[in-house]
Chains A and B, each alone.
Chain A
Amino acid sequence: NAGVTQTPKFRVLKTGQSMTLLCAQDMNHEYMYWYRQDPGMGLRLIHYSVGEGTTAKGEVPDGYNVSRLKKQNFLLGLESAAPSQTSVYFCASRRGGPGELFFGEGSRLTVL
């Protein structure tokens, strides 16, 4: 049981380049989330999804787009990367009803 898998795990981009982070979960969870983690700021919610075909903005959505075309996948896109987007990105998922989040192992992104 793989749980939540993120790809890639490491990536270096130049300012202005685009990329997509993929999150895949095999637990049939309804809800999926993208967070970014920065030193001293904890985890901040970028976007989330409450089901296939739905997305919603979190605390820090600017500069990011997301899609949930399939229930098991949640994609995070950066159209034009900026150095301020250098961070560790975590995907998480959970089932419906009250419950905890299950996290992926993170994707470290550096924008030069």
Chain B
Amino acid sequence: AQSVSQHNHHVILSEAASLELGCNYSYGGTVNLFWYVQYPGQHLQLLLKYFSGDPLVKGIKGFEAEFIKSKFSFNLRKPSVQWSDTAEYFCAVNAPGSGTYKYIFGTGTRLKVLA
């Protein structure tokens, strides 16, 4: 069965610090990968996605993620965080080749950015 691991549950950074959130998945075949963000009191919104091609994916608000197939990883990065990036971040995987239409989410990383 597919699974997604997010190793950092809580992260606290000062403004302008660099961010990297880890995401690892378990599935040997082709995957579609996503990062979602949930601002306080809001629903999940897509930050970026990877289907194929260039493993370095750029998303909204200056976020990017790198797909490393050999490590089954899809880490999220941002060079300089802002106070407004305070939110919870979820990694998700979909494995279309497995015959399932499920999207499996990690447990989330709660980021707090100090002004």
Please report A residues at the B interface, Cβ cutoff 8 Å: 31, 33, 35, 40-45, 48, 50, 58, 90, 92, 98, 100-101, 103-106
Does A45 lie within 8 Å of B44, measured CB to CB? no
- Distance (whole angstroms) from the CB of B26 to the closest CB of chain A: 15
Asked if B9 is an interface residue, CB under 8 A from chain A, the answer is yes
A98 to B103, CA, bound (A): 11
Please report B residues at the A interface, Cβ cutoff 8 Å: 6, 9, 32, 34, 42-46, 49, 51, 90, 92, 94, 96, 101-108
Residues from chain A with Cβ under 8 Å of B102 in the complex:
45, 48, 58
Q: Return the contact of A103 from the options B6, B43, B108 (Cβ within 8 A).
A: B43
Given A98-B32, A98-B51, A45 and B43 contact (CB-CB distance below 8 Å): no
Does A104 lie within 8 Å of B103, measured CB to CB? no
Does B105 lie within 8 Å of A42, measured CB to CB? yes
A50, A92, A98 interface centre (most CB from chain B within 10 Å)? A98
- Distance (whole angstroms) from the CB of A87 to the closest CB of chain B: 14
Residues from chain B with Cβ under 8 Å of A43 in the complex:
44, 90, 105
Q: Return the contact of B101 from the options A44, A50, A100, A105 (Cβ within 8 A).
A: A50
